[in-house]
Structure 1
Amino acid sequence: MAADYPLLVSSDWLKQQQVAGVENIVVIDASWSSAKNCQAEYEQAHIPGAVYINVMDGENNDYFPRNIPNSDKFEEKLQQAGINHDSHVVIYSSSDNAGFLISGRAWWTFKLYGVDKVSILDGGLEQWKKNGYELKSDIPTSKKGNMKVKRIDNLYRTFEDVQQNLKSSNFQVCDTRPATKFSGPESDGHIPGAKNLPMAKLVDMEKGTLLPVSQLKKLFLEAGLDLSKPVVVHCMMGMSSCTVAFAAILCGSKNVSVYHGGATEWGKKASPDQIQKYTP
């Protein structure tokens, strides 16, 4: 999964591309919240030229309360946004953790469905505004793109994959939930052998950007994760884990995937001996 394009881009970089008139860049506002209408907010103010896509538009159920969209529906969204096979997609959001909570999930969804070049705007919409760059309210009209989705299955891990790994130890498991949810009196337990690296640790909230790569590498190391070996990340339902997967690739990982069902599915399906509980 090594990239020949910048995985993480700054507001300055994006502005420079826009001023230079680079044509193959498609900017996507992926803002989403269960508490408000982010599309309405996008229609009021967004980065010039940005197109809105709701990547959380999936058929949810008890195991996947934050499900991914089906392939046909997502392909239609991509084409309507003007995305072609050679497009460079830049994703931003106005979500929590400097935009990364949703931007990371959107990045993973795009990659899962075969979009080749996908970057995240560091700091999201807030960083763009902080830099004093303009916002627009006009909705751009895009020429229909030619993107055809192709599921990249090695980015996705199932309950069965993780269950089998308890015996085979083919990959490391990284639980990206807060430490109190991973282990402790408030925790329902975690996957045996999992390491804990909360997604929030990766963000410099004072600056509103992702930590430098050197600091990210240190965090992975301190969590007991070897990025030269396969890593599977998970959270509750495939949200914060996607940003940790993104950070791992930014740090040079060549083999990282997301267990989408996460602690929600694991808690419902795993046997008691497959859940490591807190012991004082």
Structure 2
Amino acid sequence: MAVRGSVNASIMITPEELALSLAAVEPPAVLDVRWQLGDPGFGQRAYAAGHIPGAVFCDLDSVLSGPAGPEGRHPLPDLDELARWLRDAGVDAEREVCVYGAREPMGAARAWWLLRYVGHERVRVLDGGLAAWQADGFDVTDEVPRPRPGSFTVRVVAEHRLDDALVQARADDGVLLDARAPERYSGESEPIDPIAGHIPGALNAPAAEMVDADGRMLSAELLRARFGQLGITPDTAVGVYCGSGVTAATDILALALAGMPAALYAGSWSKWTAQPDPPVATGPDPR
């Protein structure tokens, strides 16, 4: 099945392709990463109501994140615990992994980024999530699979993560993107964290603008044009943050589709504002 021209086949997968892959002799491991901010039980309820056959539920808050604290609201999980969970979910280093959300990437992009960070090289995101799967006529099930244990081990790829000490330097010497909504970036509204505004020098690139009305990623051509307007080329050093390191993964996914690598500031705004007297800018301009 041919891939839509807007989708990079090594990063995204269509419902048709996933259905064909699941019928193959060696199907991919599939992770259901449906997640909704403010509703910790949403993903599990949605999974129980119906999911792609063979998919294992992957909880963003407890599997893809550690406990909230000084490192942020969604800090990275303990990597040894993550590896154990992935093995139990049937993940091998050589077996392809497909991740999906409800519609927009959201938690699925976080899973995609984290798996790449710990060294898995064959991860794809279902374009349009479960909504696209069902819209294309494919069935869901409430049957919980029992995957064959995998053998995945962690191999951290450091360049996928932006070190705390380099965040401000990235804003000064490269491009630092803030993936939150414009009103949070400017400081007009801050419904979650105690301080409003953005990291000085950061440019606003809302994650919500990286997808179309159906929750599918924009074409590589459109994404290159959008990032080009922000001064980004394939050679630009790019860092991305959001409120807690979840939404920013959608920007990193979009940048990858555009052929522009980027690193995640995992603690994001929730960690930046936890430090004593953090530098903060407000208004629509970077500084």
**TMscore range, shorter length:** 0.7 to 0.9
2:132 partner amino acid = Q
Aligned partner of 1:61 in structure 2 is 69
2:269 alignment partner, one of 263, 266, 274: 263
Contact 1:80 1:144 in 2 (8 A): yes
Aligned partner of 2:162 in structure 1 is 157
Aligned length: 268
Q: Secondary structure at the match of 2:177?
A: strand
Q: Which runs of 5+ in 1 are unaligned?
A: none
**1:201 pairs with 2:214:** no
Greater fraction of residues in helix: 1
- Structure 1 residue 141: Cα displacement: 1.3
- Structure 1 residue 165: Cα displacement: 4.1
Alignment CA distance shift 1:46-1:185 (3 Å): closer
- Structure 1 residue 70: Cα displacement: 0.7
Contact 1:99 1:125 in 2 (8 A): no
- Structure 1 residue 228: Cα displacement: 2.4
Greater fraction of residues in strand: 1
Aligned partner of 2:220 in structure 1 is 213
Aligned residues: CA RMSD: 2.2
Q: Secondary structure at the match of 1:27?
A: strand
- Structure 1 residue 41: Cα displacement: 2.6
Contact 2:170 2:176 in 1 (8 A): no
- Structure 1 residue 62: Cα displacement: 4.2
- Structure 1 residue 270: Cα displacement: 6.4
Alignment CA distance shift 1:119-1:127 (3 Å): same
1:18 alignment partner, one of 14, 18, 22: 22
- Structure 1 residue 181: Cα displacement: 1.4
1:102 alignment partner, one of 81, 99, 107: 107
2:57 alignment partner, one of 52, 68, 74: 52
Alignment CA distance shift 1:191-1:7 (3 Å): same
| TM alignment of 1:1-280, pairs within 5 A | 6-19=10-23, 21-33=24-36, 34-35=38-39, 36-57=41-62, 58-94=66-102, 98-165=103-170, 169-183=172-186, 185-186=188-189, 188-205=196-213, 207-253=214-260, 255-269=261-275, 271=277, 274-278=279-283
Contact 1:56 1:67 in 2 (8 A): no
Aligned partners of 1:179, 1:46: CA distance in 2, in Å? 33
2:222 partner amino acid = Q
- Structure 1 residue 29: Cα displacement: 0.7
Q: Secondary structure at the match of 1:233?
A: strand
- Structure 1 residue 171: Cα displacement: 2.8
Aligned partners of 1:270, 1:162: CA distance in 2, in Å? 16
1:42 partner amino acid = Y
Aligned partners of 1:70, 1:106: CA distance in 2, in Å? 14
Q: Secondary structure at the match of 2:240?
A: strand
TM-score for both structures, normalised by structure 1: 0.88
1:258 partner amino acid = L
1:197 partner amino acid = A
Residues 159-213 of structure 1: CA deviation (Å, up to 9, x unaligned): 22213446xx4431011111111125437222222111100001112x3311111
- Structure 1 residue 271: Cα displacement: 4.3
TM-score for both structures, normalised by structure 2: 0.86
Q: Say which is worse superposed, 66-75 or 180-189, in terms of deviation.
A: 180-189
- Structure 1 residue 44: Cα displacement: 2.9
Contact 1:53 1:77 in 2 (8 A): no
- Structure 1 residue 215: Cα displacement: 1.1
Aligned partners of 2:98, 2:30: CA distance in 1, in Å? 5
Q: Say which is worse superposed, 21-30 or 172-181, in terms of deviation.
A: 21-30
